[in-house]
Structure 1
């Protein structure tokens, strides 16, 4: 009997809203857990007026199949103080089964409950109303903001459902951003021009010491190559870039490895972002990852309320990586996630206002223009 992927093996309980007991998503999760040898996992029905569940059983995690009553389509929670990419979020759930020391979700969701919005009918109605209202309005959307796009795909099939639904909307491009490899969504895709498979990358040292229950860098790059060979353009993200002893050698190694798997013209865009976090994340990292030491670098408060690496140190890393990427033929694919005009000018020699805005450029690249 096939087992669950490594990153899903700590799931030990399932909660389900009473209103979602007969939802297709609920049946699918139950069937796939059983297929993975976990039919014995206890299920608890949650009353309709209960907003959250309490779960604290050591290292075990829980799934919560919830009827979500908020807005599914959202704007990225950026700030005007820095250049935002204009990404729109399709909100499919919250929290992540993997364990990356730097993950900001630890501060957002301080529990071990993986929430899945099981009322997909409501999600698709909202998206149809939004995307279908004006087919001339274009959208660059993704699901990897409050969760990993593919982490629960083995159980939920959510990304495949979205890919199939959005095939009817020429004005929408969907990015699937992940640290694991699950390409089952490709079975539902008949168009390669409306899906952007995306993976986060980091230096090998960070992957080995700060990212747990994730796919290896080689597995992610092999998946990117598989998608590129199938005709999809891929996205890659270096966020967060972390300062550690040997960072130059580490980031040089992974940058060079990228181009053993994909060509620059097969990359729609690539983001670069320095480690930044809300102040309350640091004590969480200290507690959960006591061997982590990058949080003791020189940080200053940013204009968005998050602490970030001192600007000269950020710029030093950015320049190193941009110079290396340029040698491989990368330029318009590159952008900073949440950086100032000054940093853009210092590193690139230009800033988003010079080319009409970051959102405009990335929208054009997403649509292959």
Structure 2
């Protein structure tokens, strides 16, 4: 039975586009079915002809869902840089853009429209993944879908993560991370093994959650979902990225760190990333335009080795050290890692570098497969 009401973060969808080749795809049929009985049931559907290169949609704050036949590579490497330590995970590319609105989101620089794209040709996706993951079952993969979109934001309509979890049940050499800022645990019904899926949530200080993240689940809802997953036997991942420098940051990050352990135990966390706010130069004016009340973009930044604006290193190290010390006091240690930081910062804060345990990618791969 369909829910008569969509989650709040999906209620701005007012149009569905579908490629002509995808009109009778399982994905298109599913979205139609799940819109039935909702306030969005009567929204128009437009079929996109095969020779049409792009679609136009501009209706203020409204959004469109585009069920597209994707013709590129579905399995990709994380777009890191050699200048900093990258976690080395692989991206399963399922779509682009996000229905939520977080002031710091890098996707604003990539997708300056309100079109939520989902790759509807899942048969091609699964064919490519099967060829990659099945070629050598001794080769392990740590993969995730939350790079160019949120892993679960469109799950209520698409069921994409449910399908992916179901498909990957047959691959013992793959661990899938589902990273999100919303709560949708419907994928759990497809999981035959709790050791091959890592549900993950982004966290931030309560002030940042309230003032810089919109149409997202609350921090309490995310932590409750994490507890539900651990009670079912899954380990979870948590991510503090971006950590933002604002006047009361110590109190804010101390509060959310302490709250984590009211819900989960350190041993139930596979790993946790810490990353300071950083952005390409062209993102700053976009943030200023989209979120005029935002002030953290006027902090002290310098160009990093990857040409992104980064908070001054002493300020980054101060925040990192504060958070790592507090997390260690709760029993966290080797689960912690930096997202895109230098060897010097690793040494200064942790007292070791990724090379001390064989590289960051190898370390996280071992953590992902550990039971």
Q: Same fold (TM over 0.5)?
A: yes
Deviations 1:174-215 (A, max 9, x none): 000000000000011111000000000000000000000000
Which residue of structure 1 lines up, in the alignment, with residue 196 of structure 2?
194
Which residue of structure 1 lines up, in the alignment, with residue 16 of structure 2?
14
Q: Give the whole-Å Cα distance in 2 for the aligned partners of 1:52 and 1:282.
A: 27
Question: How many angstroms does 1:54 deviate by?
Answer: 1.1
Q: Give the whole-Å Cα distance in 2 for the aligned partners of 1:319 and 1:10.
A: 40
Question: How many angstroms does 1:37 deviate by?
Answer: 3.0
Q: Give the whole-Å Cα distance in 2 for the aligned partners of 1:51 and 1:270.
A: 40
Deviations 1:267-312 (A, max 9, x none): 0000000000111111111111100000000001111121110100
- Find the partner of 1:63 among 62, 65, 68: 65
Which residue of structure 2 lines up, in the alignment, with residue 264 of structure 1?
266
Question: How many angstroms does 1:49 deviate by?
Answer: 2.0
Q: Give the whole-Å Cα distance in 1 for the aligned partners of 2:228 and 2:312.
A: 38
Which residue of structure 1 lines up, in the alignment, with residue 231 of structure 2?
229
Question: How many angstroms does 1:33 deviate by?
Answer: 1.2
User: SS of the counterpart of 1:35?
Assistant: coil
- Alpha carbons 2:13, 2:40 under 8 Å: kept: no
- Establish whether residue 133 from structure 1 lines up as the match of residue 116 from structure 2: no
User: SS of the counterpart of 1:180?
Assistant: coil
Which residue of structure 1 lines up, in the alignment, with residue 97 of structure 2?
95
User: SS of the counterpart of 1:330?
Assistant: coil
Worse-matched range after superposition: 230-239 or 47-56:
47-56
1:139-178 map, 5 Å: 139-178=141-180
Q: Give the whole-Å Cα distance in 2 for the aligned partners of 1:238 and 1:33.
A: 34
Which residue of structure 2 lines up, in the alignment, with residue 74 of structure 1?
76
- Find the partner of 2:37 among 15, 35, 38: 35
Give TM-score scaled by structure 2 length.
Answer: 0.99
Question: How many angstroms does 1:87 deviate by?
Answer: 0.7
Give TM-score scaled by structure 1 length.
Answer: 0.99
Q: Give the whole-Å Cα distance in 2 for the aligned partners of 1:99 and 1:163.
A: 27
- Establish whether residue 254 from structure 1 lines up as the match of residue 256 from structure 2: yes
Structure 2 regions of 5+ residues with no counterpart? none
The total of aligned residue pairs comes to 369
Structure 1 regions of 5+ residues with no counterpart? none
Q: Give the whole-Å Cα distance in 2 for the aligned partners of 1:323 and 1:135.
A: 39
Q: Give the whole-Å Cα distance in 2 for the aligned partners of 1:51 and 1:82.
A: 36
The root-mean-square deviation of aligned C-alpha atoms, in Å, is 0.7
